[in-house]
Amino acid sequence: MLLLRCPLPLLLLLLPLDSRPQKLPTRDEELFQMQIRDKAFFHDSSVIPDGAEISSYLFRDTPKRYFFVVEEDNTPLAVTVTPCDAPLEWKLSVQELPEEASGEGSGDPEPLEQQKQQITNEEGTELFSYKGNDVEYFVSSSSPSGLYQLDLLSTEKDTHFKVYATTTPESDQPYPELPYDPRIDVTSLGRTTVTLAWKPSPTASLLRQPIQYCIVINKEHNFKSLCAVEAKLSSDDAFMMAPKPGLDFSPFDFAHFGFPADNNSGKERGFLKSSKFGRQTSPKPRVDLHRVCVGNKNIFTVSDLKPDTQYYFDMFAVNTNTNMSTAYVGTFARTKEEAKQKTVELKDGKVTDVFIKRKGAKFLRFAPVSSHQKVTFSVHSCLDAVQIQVRRDGKLLLSQSVEGVRQFQLRGKAKAKYLIRLKGSKKGASMLKILATSRPNKQSFPSLPEDTRIKAFDKLRTCSSVTVAWLGTQERNKFCIYKREVDDNYNEEQKKREQNQCLGPDTRKKSEKVLCKYFHSQNIQKAVTTETIRGLQPGKSYLLDVYVIGHGGHSVKYQSKLVKTRKFC
């Protein structure tokens, strides 16, 4: 028994032409594997090989016919047709093989075209037909001998498809088998994550064949085959280019579906360059579709999804030996809604503390009770920079990154309402203080110079003292300096962790206080003050902090400075 693996003219020449019935040779597995490796063997062929999945192309409203021969009655037969990106109409029929030539005993063979007409012009008996985009099968444990015809048609659009036929379905089993419950279960659902679980394929658990599972996620619909997914993903590259009519096979077909490409055979026939293809489909826009293969896992969490969005999930078991796949029953799920943000009401002239999770955001609202010409927003970022956006009655007025202390003055509007969005750092949690006021003289935050570093004078270092300097402003403010002894291995990383600028002098020990003084200068170039800290121990390290305290009592810390006294004097 055999599914012939040769071009149709050769197939017809092999048909018996003398008066005695002749059997066709049975499938030679070694020969078959050799032919599969020789891709050129199938070029220009309408013959389906036994036990190999082929891929081909249909032009819209242009039917295509394939042939194969079953030589003995009561032969098992399985045919699988996989539509890729459009529904197909297909029909399988069989007709008897001619047992005698009509040459009236002369022994001369009939012309080839007459033989072809004699076989293919007969209608044959229809065995099965289907119309749709499902992966559909014809399976028979006892099929009659004859010439089988597979007719395919796409009435919707040009499309790809796959065909697999075998006379040894029990032993081949190229497609992974589905478990008794082929559904995908949604075991956990979050705002940005969905956890999926599925039962393993018996092909992996019982037959010990190499199976990997591939998950496909999209927002449109479920897919019935991995072929359909490939078509969607590759809608604008060579996979979707239409070959010339009649050229069913090319090195591309085999390279794409698990066979290594042979450049030489392709060049000889002129199939390799994309410019050799026939008409091309117009490029389609990229779709929001993702595929991830997870090996032999049976549970997987899909992350980075959007809240309150419906997603479709498909699972495919792929036999890595044959590169053929079977689809589980797909599912869909809607992610949970984003937790509604509580909007904090800001009171005019009052400082509000805000904490923001890593990558999180907070919303605040400011509604001045009286008419106003200007509104001022003062922001003090305690740690890393934060993003601030201010909208007035829905219109964006401000979008800035804030590090340290910043003040923004915006034009006011009668009965206006302001929505403030604060977005935290990607590095970690953010803390800040914010003040909104419609009264221009109500300022709780002290003004700061652009440079808030403390400078230490190395030449003025002694065994018991250090001299430092820092910048001030034109506004008269109170400055307090504090010291703390630290270990010699105290480093910049530890200092960085303690750089919360919002912690005021009230959090420090009284013994750490050095002094407080008022300072300002009308000439900004001369707004510099120095201070010598005495009573230190030789060869010891100290962390120095300077706090500037505004009229409203709010303090801001300058950048900490690590100093060390001389060990020997």
- Same domain for 333 and 214: yes
pLDDT at site 37? 46
Asked if residue 327 and residue 193 are part of one domain, the reply reads yes
Cβ neighbours of residue 278 closer than 8 Å, sequence gap 6 or more: 242, 243, 244, 245
Residue 475 domain flag:
yes
Same domain, 369 and 487: no
72: domain CATH number? 2.60.120.680
**pLDDT tens digits, the chain, 569 residues: what are they?**
444 434 444 444 333 333 333 333 344 545 444 444 444 444 445 888 888 888 888 899 999 999 888 888 888 999 999 998 888 999 999 988 766 533 444 445 444 344 445 555 566 788 999 998 888 989 988 888 888 889 999 998 898 899 999 888 877 788 899 999 999 999 999 989 999 999 999 988 777 788 999 999 999 999 999 988 888 887 644 333 444 443 333 333 333 333 333 444 333 333 223 333 333 444 455 567 889 999 999 999 999 999 999 999 999 999 988 888 999 999 999 999 877 778 889 998 888 999 988 888 899 999 988 778 888 898 888 888 899 999 998 899 999 998 878 888 888 888 889 999 999 888 888 889 898 988 867 667 788 888 889 999 999 999 999 999 999 988 888 999 999 999 888 776 666 666 777 888 988 999 999 999 998 888 888 889 999 999 999 999 999 999 998 877 788 888 889 999 999 98
Nearest to 271 by CA among 291, 254, 285: 254
492 assigned to some structural domain: yes
Are the C-beta atoms of residues 249 and 162 closer than 8 Å to each other? no
Q: Is residue 56 part of a domain?
A: yes
Does a structural domain hold residue 423? yes
Quick one: which of 204, 160, 197, 162 has its CA closest to 182? 197
Residue 500 lies in a domain: yes
**CATH code for position 211:** 2.60.40.10
End of a domain among 410, 437, 464?
Answer: 437
**518 in the same domain as 415:** no
Q: Is residue 183 in some structural domain?
A: yes
Q: Which domain holds residue 536?
A: 454-564
The label of the residue with tokens 């994550």 reads: 193
What residue spans of 43-111 are helical by DSSP H? Answer: none
Do residues 530 and 503 share a domain?
yes
Domain count, the chain: 4
For the question of whether the overall pTM of this predicted structure is more than 0.85, the answer is no
Q: Mark whether 195 and 319 lie in a shared domain.
A: yes
| Same domain flag for 356 and 329 | no
Identify whether residues 192 and 308 lie together within a single domain: yes
Whether 464 and 536 have beta carbons less than 8 Å apart is answered as yes
Residues 6 or more apart whose Cβ sits within 8 Å of residue 277: 241, 242, 243, 244
Which is nearest to 366 in space by CA: 419, 438, 412? 419
Whether 214 and 327 share a structural domain = yes
pLDDT (0 to 100) of residue 99: 62
Q: Is residue 201 part of a domain?
A: yes
Structural domain ending residue among the three candidates 116, 140, 172:
172
Do residue 223 and residue 356 come from a single domain?
Answer: no
162 and 187, same structural domain?
Answer: no
- Which helix (H) or strand (E) segment holds residue 229: the answer is helix 226-233
Residues 415 and 461 in one domain: no
Query: What phi, psi does 112 have (nearest 5°)?
Result: -60, -45
Name the DSSP class of 329: B
Within a domain: 480: yes
